[in-house]
Chains A and B, each alone.
Chain A
Amino acid sequence: MQKFSTAFQKAPWTLGLALFFIVTSLFTLFVWIPIDIETGVIETFRRRVTIGDAMAPTIMTVGILVTSILMGLIAIIRPVSAVEGLDRKSFYFIFRLVIAIAIGLALMMHAGPLLVDLVNALGGEIGTYRNLRGTYPYKIFGYMLGGFALIFGCIGVVENRFTLGSAGVSLLAVIVLTILYEVPFDNMLLPPNGNN
């Protein structure tokens, strides 16, 4: 127990990783693989013995289980301090980055259809986004707005502030990327226009 607590103090993430993989590999081995693979490890069909679909994932899962146990045991027997893992700052940073990316992608997906709805609501009667997704400005509106928000948001997360300079860079970048894909190539579809 003493050794375990020493190891946990020195390399908590190594031990945590070992425990995580032990639990998930046991679950995979006894629950996921049996219910989600229809053929076994070895298949016999008309006296012909072949390797089934379960063979490779089972070997890999057993490998992960054995390696995790060995890694955990070695970390306990020979504890070595390791600079690794996530701290509170990492979680805070990733949380903010995820929000910036999510806002960017949400705008990319929905800004075009919303613009069409808005024009329709104002009496434009232009039809559905599905019919207009090959027409300017609707076809690039979502990508440009979402792309701008994604770049601007990510820069803001890193710089801890939103400046006119970073807005200019984001706008320029998204214009260049749109031109890069839209002008030379007729067959390329920017997001979200390829989705059925």
Chain B
Amino acid sequence: MGLLDHIWLGIVTVFSADPVFSIAGLPISITIVMVILGFLFGIFVGATPGIGGPFAMAISLPILISVFGFDANALLPVLGFLVGIMKGSTIGGAVPAILFNTPGTPDSLMTTLDGYPLTKRGQPGKALRVAHFSSVSGDTFSDIVLITCAPFLAILVEKFLDFPEKAALIILSLAFVSAVVGSNVWKGMLAALLGLFIAYIGTGEDGHPRLSMGSDSLAAGFPLISAVLGVLILGEVFKSLEDMWREMKDTSSITHVEVKGDNKLHLSDIRRILPFIGISASIGTMIGALPGIGSTLAATLGYATGRKYHKGSPAFGEGAIEGIAATEAANSAVAGANLIPVLSLGIPGNVSAVFILLATETISGFTPGPQVFRLVPDQINQEMVYAFGLFTTMIFANGLNWTLGGIFMRWMGVMIRIPKQRLLPIVLLLTLTAIYVQQTTMFAVYVTLGFGFLGYLMRKLNMSVLAFIIAYILANNLEEAMRQAFAVTGADPWFLFAGPISITFMVLAIAVVVFFARNQKDLS
């Protein structure tokens, strides 16, 4: 079976497997329904300040798994819903930034600089249309790069990397994430090492579960979903609740602006913003492909680059549509590219990618990594079919973004009225319930809360939670690669330096840490 057969099978699986109803005789599959639902939910949460796409993905995942189960048939509906959230939330984030000068997520902070002045001039409609067009353009560009690059990168990895090189690559990725995320390289490394250490509790190859302190509950280690949701979601909930308690900001003071003047997006406007979208989409895609660097940096770099090239009036920061375009195209272009390291290497680079990987780890039938794109003569590689099914859901969600996204986006201004201090405790209960429903034991709830307080402490101490979580997820892969590498090199203790590629990865890992440690002051 060739590549085209796998692509076609992926598309057919998404559109025709398990139809739930039909419209005019056309069957609508469960995957398509889930993408649409996820997309609507994504716009909703993206437009709610304080709740972003990752929050929604975290809360949804245990519920989805409880509904669809763990077998391979669940894969595309679950991934479709998560992809829908990812896509919907990228456009929703600009809404509160433009209408209320309140960035829904950190990456839409730069959108407020030009979006809100336009709103004050009576042109919120134009600002929202520019944000929508730029965001969807950036996202689509990024997806095209993902779909064309990930398979080739995976084939290269499969061809050139053996176990020692794979172990060295994971070490390089962790070193990169530790060094780049956060203001202190040493704290980033501590977070990653701690994540690795905690992941090794209760696992191992020996009959005696290591480091479990004799506890039966710990014999299989901490539940992965509890660790991820605890540190990423509950840690953020606790920290945000404390921040609100300290500030007690009044969110009810919303100014209403009279809509006047030109609120449409004309062809001449599109011509003006296209160069900025092109530059920012490229920046966002490049940044998205690197592990650990998020959409906030992409938005900042996109905006700064756009400002450098912008001439004429209004200037950036005074209501220039080019400013909105530069920011939104950059931060949205990160989403697709983030999946490049996940699908080609099995290494997640950001929080959204963590949840995609978590879904595939929980549901059987698909393990992201270079083997996904391996062609076997006269056989169907089911994992490749799923990968192209995933790409199909992304393209379909992009289609929804282009056609319906703008309309739904403009309805979401009302979300600013939801008081965050009342919403986050509901998120807390929803997360704990979702964990319990999946694990059916209070131990998992207590573990989640424990990791939540760990996540809170790490945030208070400026330790990178992303480095911790990525390390936690990759810990078993790293140990397995090290065991295999040790075995295939004939018990060579220097197996990480056995070949030129692994030596290059290890040298790069050390260089990244040294470079960022020396420039620490600048970063902070």
**Chain A: residues with CB nearer than 8 A to chain B?**
13-14, 17, 21, 28, 32-33, 36-39, 49-57, 60-61, 63-64, 67-68, 70-71, 74, 80, 82, 84-86, 89-90, 93-94, 97, 101, 104-105, 109, 143, 147, 150-151, 154-155, 157-160, 166, 169-170, 173-174, 177, 181, 185, 187-192, 194-195
Contacts and interface: CB of A to CB of B under 8 A. Distances in A.
Contact of B421 (A86, A109, A143, A159): A159
B270 interface: no
B171 to A, nearest CB: 11
9 contacts: A38-B208, A51-B483, A67-B189, A84-B462, A143-B433, A155-B421, A157-B245, A158-B421, A190-B433
Contact of A21 (B190, B428, B440, B449): B190
Interface string B477-519: 0110011001100010000000000000000000000000100
B244 interface: yes
Nearest to B203: A53
Given A60-B200, A177-B430, 18 more contacts: A14-B184, A33-B211, A36-B210, A39-B206, A56-B482, A60-B196, A64-B194, A71-B190, A93-B245, A93-B246, A94-B456, A150-B425, A154-B241, A157-B245, A158-B421, A173-B426, A173-B429, A191-B432
A57 B197 contact: yes
Looking at chain B's contact residues, the main secondary structure is helix
Contact of A71 (B186, B248, B422, B432): B186
Contacts of A185: 66-67
B205 interface: yes
Contact of B429 (A36, A49, A150): A150
A50 B433 CA distance: 42
Given A38-B208, A90-B242, A155-B421, A56 B441 contact: no
Given A64-B194, A158-B241, A56 B422 contact: no
B193 interface: yes
Nearest to A56: B479
Contacts of B206: 37-39, 52-53
Contacts of B433: 143, 147, 177, 181, 190-191
A121 to B, nearest CB: 26
A17 B457 CA distance: 11
Contacts of B441: 194-195
A191 B436 contact: yes
Given A151-B426, A154-B428, A188 B66 contact: yes
Contacts of B517: 74
B417 to A, nearest CB: 13
B482 A51 contact: yes
B245 A158 contact: yes
Contacts of A109: 442
A17 B437 contact: no
A85 B200 CA distance: 27
Interface string B178-204: 000000101101100110110010001
A177 B427 CA distance: 11
Contacts of B246: 89, 93
B521 interface: yes
Interface string B438-453: 0011100100010001
A80 B524 contact: yes
A64 B487 contact: no
A-B pairs with the 9 shortest C-beta distances?
Answer: A194-B440, A154-B425, A71-B186, A53-B204, A49-B491, A60-B197, A38-B208, A37-B210, A158-B421
B176 interface: no
Contacts of B461: 13, 17, 84-85
B396 interface: no
Nearest to A185: B67
Contacts of A56: 196, 200, 475, 478-479, 482
A120 to B, nearest CB: 24
Contacts of A39: 204-206
| Candidate in B211, B445, B491 with the most chain A CB atoms within 10 angstroms | B211
B256 interface: no
Contacts of B422: 155, 166, 169
Nearest to A63: B193
Nearest to A100: B425
Interface string B291-308: 000000000000000000
